[in-house]
Amino acid sequence: MHGVTGRMGMNQHLIRSIVAIRKQGGVLLSNGDKVMPDPILIGRNAEKIEALAKTWGIDRWGTDLDEALKNKDDTLFFDAGTTRMRPTLLAKAIRAGKHVYCEKPIATNLNEAVEIARLAEKSGLKHGAVQDKLFLPGLRKLDMLRRAGFFGKMLSVRLEFGYWVFEGDLQPIQRPSWNYRTEDGGGMILDMMCHWRYVLDNLFGEVKSISCIGATHIPERWDEAGKPYKATADDAAYATAELIGHNGEPVIAQMNMSWATRVNREDLVTFHVDGTHGSAVAGLSSCKAQSRVNTPRPVWNPDEKQTMNFSAQWQEVPDTQTYDNGFKIQWEHFIRHVVENEPYKWTLPEGAKGVQLVEAALVSWKERRWVDVPALQV
């Protein structure tokens, strides 16, 4: 496991996935056997890595990745480090005969993403990219509504994501400063379009074209040491995409994403889906729906104060099962894929599609036009 001293790698992948799997006794296979992950933590800072390993009961750690890759008993390489280094590290692991699993984006540009995806495909090894949003309770409920035919003909999707990230002068930052420097692999479009690609493709329809404009709303920020720096990366983006729905009908998706917005919605991300037979709004955990027969009749009257409580008119989709951590669920899928060849579709070519949408969005912004997103050949 490489890159697990960072926020995402440590919290979601190490603590809430691998440590949790170890505590539950391993990953259950179809024949009743269990697989117990035996991680070795690798990073540049020996002090941090050793402390992390001791805290979470992990015996093995080190600072030499090349040496770690020589151990034939370690069959899987996971990376949650910097995006710029990811293709190089994945290639090194693949050439060492390791199955690979990684955070997204899988690269900072499409050429590198396709190259590493092709290398993985040709190797015959197992490979996967994190697509955690698909396993969130809110989106799983939304997908259940879709599969049940609740929406009828799906018309549109409206995605609202973001919150205010403190600049660092008045209050401490809550996101790493490199996120706001293009030269360090930062940027809203690079970070989030990879997510939206797999969410759109899997739940609403295949992306066919996109129009996008980015912005750097906050031009100066302060880093972890309290020093000011120029923000060179986009901290917000506003996009519209044309999808081909699962029934072949067109679906329009609107995506607003910003680290310079103050939240006035029920969650940090919401997905509002409208269809001829019903609508739904999902967040990270909850999902509310309104069917055709339960749709109220609002009356537009700008001369009187609105008396209808629109939020109260939606019905909560209930929790009918226990929802485990989304990252952990996908880890268990991938481990079963490696050990018993369980079908697995969240591969590196799927990760490359996310980078493809990133590049299309950046081209759209730069050239101020719609950009087609053709089928990606890997």
Residues 304 and 189 in one domain: yes
The pLDDT tens digits for 156-184 are 999 999 999 999 999 999 999 999 999 99
End-to-end alpha carbon distance in the chain = 26
Residues 163 and 111 in one domain: no
Whether 366 is covered by a domain: the verdict is no
Dist. CA 168–CA 164, nearest whole Å = 12
Residues 76 and 116 in one domain: yes
State the CATH number of the domain containing residue 165: 3.30.360.10
Q: What is the pLDDT of residue 334?
A: 98
The pLDDT tens digits for 128-148 are 999 999 999 999 999 999 999
Q: Give the pTM.
A: 0.94
Residues 296 and 187 in one domain: yes
Residues 229 and 271 in one domain: yes
State the CATH number of the domain containing residue 13: 3.40.50.720
CB 256 within 8 A of CB 243: no
The DSSP call for residue 6 is S
Whether 373 is covered by a domain: the verdict is no
Give the residue ranges of the chain where pLDDT is below 70.
none
Of the candidates 138, 150, 103, which has an alpha carbon nearest to the alpha carbon of residue 276?
A: 150
Domain residues for the domain of 62 are 7-131+327-348
Residues 142 and 257 in one domain: yes
Whether 306 is covered by a domain: the verdict is yes
Distances (CA, A) of 27 to 13, 33, 336: 15, 8, 8
Residues in contact with 205: Cβ distance below 8 Å, sequence separation at least 6, in sequence order = 154, 243, 244, 245, 246, 250, 251, 253
The number of folded domains in the chain is 2
Q: What is the pLDDT of residue 118?
A: 98
Residues 313 and 342 in one domain: no
Residues 292 and 195 in one domain: yes
Residues 146 and 294 in one domain: yes
